[in-house]
Amino acid sequence: MTTAPVTTARLTVTPLTGTLGALISGVDTAVTPDAETVGELRRALLRHKVVFLRDQGLDYDSQAALARTFGELTLGHPIYAAPENRPEVREIDSRQGTRANHWHTDLTFVDRPPAIAFLHNKIAPEYGGDTMWADTVAAYEALPEPLRALADRLRVVHSNDSDYTDATVAARREYVSTLFETEHPAVHVHPETGERALLLGGFARRAAGLAPQASRDVLRLLQEYVTIPEHTVRWRWRPGDLAIWDNRATQHYAVFDYGTRDRRAERCTVTGTVPVGVDGRPSTVLSGDTTAYSDGRS
């Protein structure tokens, strides 16, 4: 992939690595973009998997309006209540003990994980607090053939009662008061690009049909291909930054190296579809009902 900037009719796209990530300039997302600009943004997102825009003056209404140009929105979160009169936002605030320093794809314990996420930074610490993204398509393509054949057939149970929860959630009892579990294919077919991507991360609880030790070993082995440095990009936040990522083709990790300093952002997410494996089998719900979350009904 070229790393030279590409200028289109509406914007400039500058790749940040040879694998994923791009800086986009030439668009003010506080004004809801027209269809042509949205089309260019979407093409850049599908190619680079996570894109960044500096100095975006978004409030709740304009952020939700921008996200809605990409599809219907979810509620802010399937477990946590949204702020009053802002049902489609998830506040990510270090003062509330919120952090996400564990590799994950967002909310894979539901049957329709978000397709696309829009995270607008409000407060960034003077140092630390970067976020890293990893390319799950490149990870799948890097698998040796015997391991790829195993992954193609593997099914994985994702749960809110998981390693991610143990590592990052302060109020754990609240988070797991209702159990949500969904069995996903370990490899799903991206509904827009047709690419195959690993569907793993911190909510992945166990591999279906394997004994506990074998399950841990297989999931660890596959996950290692996701997070090798060549498959990642790291972003240093400034207030006003907007990150848009394809949740169907990435994992991310918010680095918790800023101590007690403030870090705050707001996220909106576009409703996803039920993942489908390479064998055509869709994901299946094992426990819990998140229909209201995916349908954006408070």
Residues marked as catalytic: 104, 106, 252, 267
* Nearest residue to 198 via CA among 162, 216, 181, 222: 222
Q: What whole-number distance in Å separates Cα of residue 261 and Cα of residue 189?
A: 40
Q: Strands of 131-135's sheet, edge to edge? A: 232-235, 131-135, 250-254
Distances (CA, A) of 200 to 55, 123, 124, 228, 273: 32, 30, 28, 15, 16
Tell me 33's DSSP state. Answer: P
Strands 50-53 and 204-207: unpaired
In the block, which residue shows the tokens 């219907």?
72
Q: Which two tokens stand for residue 63?
A: 């952020």
Q: What whole-number distance in Å separates Cα of residue 287 and Cα of residue 298?
A: 20
Are the C-beta atoms of residues 207 and 186 closer than 8 Å to each other? yes
Q: What whole-number distance in Å separates Cα of residue 169 and Cα of residue 167?
A: 6
* Nearest residue to 232 via CA among 10, 16, 52: 16
Q: What whole-number distance in Å separates Cα of residue 241 and Cα of residue 73?
A: 21
Are the C-beta atoms of residues 112 and 294 closer than 8 Å to each other? yes
Q: What whole-number distance in Å separates Cα of residue 186 and Cα of residue 153?
A: 8
Half-sphere exposure of 89 (CA within 13 A, CB side): 22
Are the C-beta atoms of residues 16 and 25 closer than 8 Å to each other? no
